[in-house]
């Protein structure tokens, strides 16, 4: 989690040569465990003060998507990854909403409902522990193809 916090701090990121990130999966660190860490900052309008620094902050052990929306979503700017040091253009189509079961470090089970950006971040990290990279989900023939009902998140 500390790595993600440092990567989001402009001073620390520059000092340590880090690219900003909001999630990390154990396999990215060459650890064969089903663990992900997510740290999504709270985005606030100019002049507002966030109640909490992070919209989503969790370390999830054995996360599993137990239900999802019919509607799909993709980030308008595409996705990036700490494991991929190049831009891969295209829409990464994912579920707009998911319900995820996971365990915390104390072995307690949790269920969380996510939508929008948080949903995409968690799905991206779960893909890592399942051996799937974000670019595997981009349409090779037409990277910016938009199917009916696709929600583009800006």
Q: Could you read off the pLDDT of 96-106 as tens digits, one per residue?
A: 999 999 999 99
User: Position of tokens 């999966």?
Assistant: 25
Would you list the domain boundaries of the chain?
2-153
CATH class of 2-153: alpha beta
* 125 counts as catalytic: yes
Buried b / exposed e over 13-32, threshold 16 CB at 10 Å, is: eeeeebeebbbbbbbbeeee
Q: One of 46, 57, 125, 154 is an active-site residue; which one? A: 125
> Residue 150: is its pLDDT beyond 80?
yes
Q: Could you read off the pLDDT of 60-100 as tens digits, one per residue?
A: 999 999 999 999 999 999 999 999 999 999 999 999 999 99
User: Residues 137, 13, 59, 51: what is their CA dihedral angle, to the nearest 10 degrees?
Assistant: -110
Say if CB 12 and CB 30 are below 8 A apart. no
Q: What is the pTM of this model?
A: 0.92
User: How far apart, in whole angstroms, are the C-alpha atoms of residue 101 and residue 66?
Assistant: 7
């Amino acid at each position: 989690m500390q790595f993600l916090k440092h990567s989001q701090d402009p001073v620390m990121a520059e000092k340590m040569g880090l690219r900003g990130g909001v999630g990390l999966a154990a396999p990215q660190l060459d650890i064969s465990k089903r663990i992900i860490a997510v740290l999504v900052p709270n985005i606030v309008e100019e002049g507002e003060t966030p109640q909490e620094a992070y919209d989503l902050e969790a370390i999830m052990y054995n996360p599993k998507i137990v239900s999802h929306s019919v509607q799909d979503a993709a980030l308008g700017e595409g996705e990036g990854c700490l494991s991929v040091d190049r831009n891969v253009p295209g829409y990464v189509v994912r579920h707009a909403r998911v319900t995820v079961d996971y365990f915390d470090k104390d072995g307690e089970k949790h269920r969380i409902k996510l939508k929008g950006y948080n949903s995409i971040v968690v799905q991206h990290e779960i893909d890592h522990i399942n051996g799937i990279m974000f670019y595997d989900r981009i349409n090779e023939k037409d990277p910016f193809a938009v199917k009916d009902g696709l929600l583009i998140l800006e």
